[in-house]
Structures are given as structure tokens and as C-alpha cells.
Amino acid sequence: MTLVSKNIKYLRKLHAFTQEQFSEKIGIKRSLLGAYEEGRADPRLNNLLNMAKEFGVSVDVLISQDVTGISRDDLKVLGQKEENGEGLKILSITVDKDDNENIELVPQKASAGYLNGYSDPEYLQELPKFQLPNLPQNGTYRAFELSGDSMLPLVPGTIVIGKYLESAHDIKSGKTYVLVSKQEGVVYKRVFNYLDENGKLFLVSDNKIYAPYEVDATDILEIWEAKAFISVSFPDPEGDMTLDKLTGIVMDLQQEVIKLKDK
């Protein structure tokens, strides 16, 4: 019997659920739950998420800590520590029929609700999903649709794909990240890491009309390192090569072609 199978069986009995009652709660067949508890099958990730939610612990605890012998009171304290950030944080995800992780898309109109639903598997199931074959397989990814013009040349409607970071200490100063915070909600900024100095992050917009500002690390709920973006708008030429100058060059070339034909 594996550690996770022992934990599932023990926690189910600790909560006074029969196999039939608990299997109905998490939406699986009783025979499958029996296979999990006997170690004859490994639970799929979405089933682990549902079981952990019913038990009041994280998936990390369910699969990596021996909780057999723990009391209901100790279990409650353990859950409180996780909510306060003193334990490992659980990241909810969705998977396809082959257990491949999806990239969930958080549209502009859903970003406000994401602050309340980011850890709710049922909320994530309602979001649009897709996959990209060229992303490295060693991470979990989520996509966010940008609003506003604070990060030009990325225009509103651009979709930024981020890789999940477990710790704010992994933030590299000057890189761009999608941050989910209690006060600001979902923002996409260039971030500078001053955690070791004062416990804060410094957020900077690429559009200089927006003033930089600080956020406390304890305000951050999720961090997604920007890895790619999808846009239906192509950037205009920058610097000396303006659109008017390009047009002039093309017109000059057309005149040269006409002259060559006349010779």
C-alpha cells in the first residue's frame, strides 16, 4: 500500500465517510475509490484535488506526508498553516482526457473573478483551455488576456502565457510576470525583486506614463513568469524606421523599377 493510499483511507475514516458516501462527494465510482485505498490504482490529479478539498489539506500533504494517526484538531491546524502560507501551497489545474495539463485562459472579463476562484477546481473548469506543443514540459502554464496599455507595445487583448513560480524569491529583476495579488488583482508588469532588502517587489510598466509602485510579498497570491504571448496585432516599426519612412522607401524603389523597365 502506498503512502497516498494509506492517507486517503485514513482521512476518509477520520471524517466518518463510508466509501460510498465519499466516492459520491468526489464524483467517482466506489470501486475506483477502493482501488485507490488498496494501492491498485493511482488517483488522477483532478481526483486528488477533489479529495484534498474534502479533507481540508493540500495535495502536497496528501501525497507526501504520513498523516495516519493525526487527530481532527491537528488536521485543522495543518489546514490553517497552509492557508497562512506556512505550508506548501496547492495550485489547482485542469487536465485533458490523457492527463496532460491544460493551459487555462483567464479573459479580461474573468480576471476580477479569478481573484476569488483561482484555487477552485470548479471555477477553472469553466475557463477556456488550450495547449501549445512548443512549451517546455517541466512547468505549469496559464494564460492571461491583457487590459489597458501599461505594457505597450503589447496592446490590450494580447494573451500572455506564464509559467507558475512557487516562490517570489525566484523572481529575476527586470523580467516580466503576471502577478495575482490581494489588492491589485491580476496585473502584468516588469518586476524588480527587493525581498531580501525590504520584503517588497517593485512593479514597473513598460509604458512610461504609468508610475512604478511597490507591493508587499505577503500580498501576492500567484506568480506567473511570462514565457510567450499571442496577439492579433502586429507592432508598428519603432525608432528611426517610421511607417512614413518605410512608405517613402517603397515608393522610391517602385520608381527605380519603372526607370529600369523604360531603359
Looking at the fold, whether 226 and 244 belong to one and the same domain comes out as no
CA dihedral 179, 183, 189, 195 (to 10 degrees): -70
CA distance 166 to 89: 8
Three-state DSSP at 116 gives helix
Task: Find out whether 30 and 23 touch, Cβ atoms under 8 Å.
Answer: yes
pLDDT at 85: 46
Q: What's phi and psi for 142, nearest 5 deg? A: -145, 150
Residue 137 lies in a domain: yes
Pairing of strands 103-106, 141-145: parallel
Looking at the fold, whether 120 and 19 belong to one and the same domain comes out as no
pLDDT at 87: 40
Range of the domain at 63: 3-83
Looking at the fold, whether 40 and 139 belong to one and the same domain comes out as no
Strand segments (E) across 109-158: 129-130, 141-145
Residue 71: DSSP 8-state: -
Residue 88 lies in a domain: no
Looking at the fold, whether 61 and 134 belong to one and the same domain comes out as no
Write down the residue that cell numbers 512604478 correspond to. 212
Report the 10 Å Cβ neighbour count for 151.
23
pLDDT at 77: 58
- For residue 32, what is the domain's CATH number? 1.10.260.40
Looking at the fold, whether 195 and 171 belong to one and the same domain comes out as yes
pLDDT at 129: 94
Block mean pLDDT (10 aa), the chain, length 263: 88 92 92 92 84 83 81 62 48 78 91 77 86 86 93 93 90 95 91 91 94 90 94 71 65 75 66
Q: Is residue 106 packed enough to be buried (19+ CB in 10 Å), middle (13-18) or exposed (0-12)? A: buried
Looking at the fold, whether 64 and 145 belong to one and the same domain comes out as no
